[in-house]
Amino acid sequence: MSRVVVTGRIPDAALEKLRAEHDVDAWDGTESISREELLRRVAGAEAIVSLLTERIDGELLDAAGPQLKVVANVAVGYDNIDVPACTDHGVTATNTPGVLTDATADIALSLILMATRRLGEGERIIRSGESWKWGMFFLLGSSLQGKTLGIVGMGGIGQATARRAKAFGMEVVYQSRSEIDPQIAGELGARRVDLDELLAISDVVSLHCPYGPATHHLIGAEQLEAMKTSAYLVNTARGPIVDEAALANALREGVIAGAGLDVFEKEPQVHPELLVLDNVVLVPHLGSATVETRTAMAVLAADNALAVLAGEQPPTPIG
C-alpha cells in the first residue's frame, strides 16, 4: 500500500476509493491546512490529492521526497501547481476537467442574470427593511434577448455558457487561441473575433480562459475603457485575470454598467472598493459548488492518483 495525503476535506466517495487500496492521511479540519502542517504531512507520500487552496511548488515536492509519484488536483484550474517543478521532480500532475463544465456555466449565466437584472440590489433592499414599492422605473435592468455575449476562452465551459446564452436569445462571439469545431460554432452561431473587437461589440463579456502569465490582468483599465458603457463583465475563471482596482474604478465611474464575480484577485480577499458598489455581484467561488459536481471532481482526482500509483496513464493529466 502507498501513502496518500489528501490536503483538505473531500467527498466520502473519493476517500473510500483511495482507502480501499492505500493508506490515506486526509486533513479533515474545517479550516485550510497550514503550510507548516502540510509540509510535515507530505513527507514520505507517494501521492498527494490537493485542493486549489494549497500551493504545490518545489518546496513541497522536496518535503514530500523522491518517492512522490503524483499530484492530483481537485480542480480544473491548476495555477496553484508549479507544473515545471513537478516535471523536474518526475511527478505526474493531474486535474479534473469536464466534470465541472455545466455547474460553472450555470454560475456564469446566473451572474449574467443577476448583474443585468440588478437582482443583488433588489435582494439587499428587501433584507435591509428599506421601504420600497413597484414603479415603472424601479431597478430597471437590461434584457438579454438580441444582445451579444462575448466569451473569452471558448473551451468546454465557454461553449456551455454560450449554449445557455443562445437559449436566452443572445448572439455569441468569442476570442480563443484556436477555432472551435465548425459544427459546434454553427450550432451556437458563434463567430471568432479578436479581443479588441469582442470588447467593443459585446453587451456582456464572460471570462473562461485559463490563468497564467499571458492572461494576468488581461482585463485592465484599457480593456474596460474599450467596452460599451452599457456592458457587463463576468468572471468565473480565475481572479487575477481581472485587475480588480481598475474594475472598481470603472464601475464607480460608469465606464461599464456592471459586473459579476465568482473569483477574486487575492482570494478570499476582495478589493474593498468593490464591496461598497451596488453594480457588482460578488459570490464566493461557487462555480463548481453542487453536490454532484464536487463529488465527481474528487472521484476523478482519486482515479488519477490510483492510476499513477498502479503504473497506468491517468485519465486527465495536465499538459
Closest to 48 measured CA to CA, from 303, 277, 226, 305 = 305
d(CA 103, CA 157): 9
Q: In this predicted model, what pLDDT tens digit does every residue of 44-53 receive, in sequence order?
A: 999 999 999 9
Tens of pLDDT along 60-105? 999 999 999 999 999 998 999 999 999 999 999 999 999 999 999 9
Q: What is the pLDDT of residue 115?
A: 98
pLDDT of residue 299: 98
Q: Is 217 a catalytic residue?
A: no
3-class secondary structure, 73:
strand
What are the tens digits of pLDDT across the range 252-292? 999 999 999 999 999 999 999 999 999 999 999 999 999 99
- Separation of alpha carbons 261 and 112, rounded Å: 10
Contact 73, 94 (CB under 8 A): yes
Q: Which three three-digit cell numbers place residue 266?
A: 487575492
**Is 208 annotated as catalytic?**
no
Name the nearest CA neighbour of 258 among 139, 114, 153: 114
| Contacts of 223 by beta carbon, 8 Å cutoff, 6+ apart | 195, 199
Q: pTM higher than 0.85, yes or no?
A: yes
Cell numbers for 248: 472598481
Catalytic-labelled residue, pool 121, 197, 267, 273:
267
Q: Band of the pLDDT at 157, cuts 50, 70, 90?
A: very high
Whether the Cβ atoms of residue 271 and residue 265 lie closer than 8 Å to each other: yes
Q: Which of 89, 238, 271, 294 is catalytic?
A: 238
Mean pLDDT of 4-29: 97
Could you count the other beta carbons within 10 Å of the beta carbon of residue 21? 15
Identify the residue whose cell numbers are 459536481.
Answer: 293
The CB density around residue 125, as the number of other CB atoms within 10 Å, is: 16
